[in-house]
Structure 1
Amino acid sequence: MEALNTLRNIVDPNPALSHRFGVFFFAGGLAPNRIDFRFQKVSGLSTEIQLQTINEGGQNLHAHRLPSQVNYNNLVLERGYSTSPIPSPLNMEFNIAFSRFQFYPSNVLVTLFDELSGVPVPIGAWLFIKAYPVKWSVSELDAQSNSVLVDTLELAYARFQIMRI
């Protein structure tokens, strides 16, 4: 019975919910962007190790599969199209990248929150290092629809680090 109680304390019976999160941009790696942190959806939080197959002479039953390189997917952020009179530093960065082909990589922290007595508490995070714009799109304009216009921002990055808090 003691072992069962210990196991219950180790295994979390309440998995984290995915709807409480923030996205924080650090210009130059240090100063946080205080305007662009609310997003409707974040995707692309994945990575995989590319394998190299090596056939050994005389060995016909199997091939050796060895890790060769880490591949990262792009970080995709979606939010409602902003009409705020306050300029978005993130929109300005995307404009510079696509109109002048100038890039200023920054670090991006995606943080997952839980709520403790009504206060958001970070419970996990992913740090994307040297992120820069690679794609920007806006959902289609449709006179027969009454839906929110969505900005989709896509970033490539050098690597990411999983952070357990």
Structure 2
Amino acid sequence: MNYPPLNMHFVVKFKHKEFSKDIHFQSVNGLKASICKTEESKLEKVHFENLVLKRAYEPDSRLIGWCMNRINNHKTQAVNLVISLLNSEHKMLSGWIIEKAIPVSWSVEELHAQETRILIERIELEYKFFEVLNSQGEIIAPKEKKRIR
């Protein structure tokens, strides 16, 4: 029997060798595409919401350096990534290829002397577009190749 997929079992894989260990995240938000019209023009434009990744703070992660290099030094190094939704046997049910992501924000949650919590890191990425994958890793949407804005 097929059950609806659960949202809690997933991995994020950056397509960059320096970030190969950065796969575990607490949450992923921002897989959203919408059509918007500008008032000046009647043309429709696709808008992709920023991707927000959260996880336990990892001070030795190279992702922090990538984010801060972009924010502080304005050095842009776009990276592709794949988010895979997994089943109980760790096989992909669906996925999303994120194209040309760059960091636009990095932060950690509040440090608090009277609370004992895991410190959460937040990474926000802007990207050009995403593609949807089926369980075999085939692109099912969009059917036609998107032009990069």
The TM-score normalised by the length of structure 1 is: 0.74
Q: Deviations over 1:69-102 (max 9, x none)?
A: 100100000001114xxx4221121121122110
Structure 1 stretches of 4+ with a deviation exceeding 4 A read none
Q: Secondary structure at the match of 1:143?
A: coil
C-alpha RMSD of the superposition: 2.0
Greater percentage in strand: 1
Q: Structure 1 residues 142 and 103 mapped into 2: Cα distance closer, same or farther (>3 Å)?
A: same
Partner of 1:122: 92
- 2:104 aligned to which of 104, 121, 134: 134
Identity of aligned residues (%): 30
- 1:112 aligned to which of 75, 85, 88: 85
Deviation at 1:23, TM superposition (A): 0.4
Q: Secondary structure at the match of 2:104?
A: strand
- Which structure 1 segments of 5+ residues have no match? 1-11, 54-65
Q: Distance between the aligned counterparts of 1:34 and 1:18, measured in 2? A: 22
Q: Which one has a bigger Cα radius of gyration?
A: 1
Q: Distance between the aligned counterparts of 1:49 and 1:137, measured in 2? A: 29
Partner of 2:13: 24
Q: Secondary structure at the match of 1:16?
A: coil
Q: Structure 1 residues 124 and 146 mapped into 2: Cα distance closer, same or farther (>3 Å)?
A: same
Q: Distance between the aligned counterparts of 1:124 and 1:24, measured in 2? A: 14
Q: Secondary structure at the match of 2:58?
A: coil
Give the number of equivalent residue pairs.
134
Q: Secondary structure at the match of 1:120?
A: coil
Q: Distance between the aligned counterparts of 1:24 and 1:145, measured in 2? A: 32
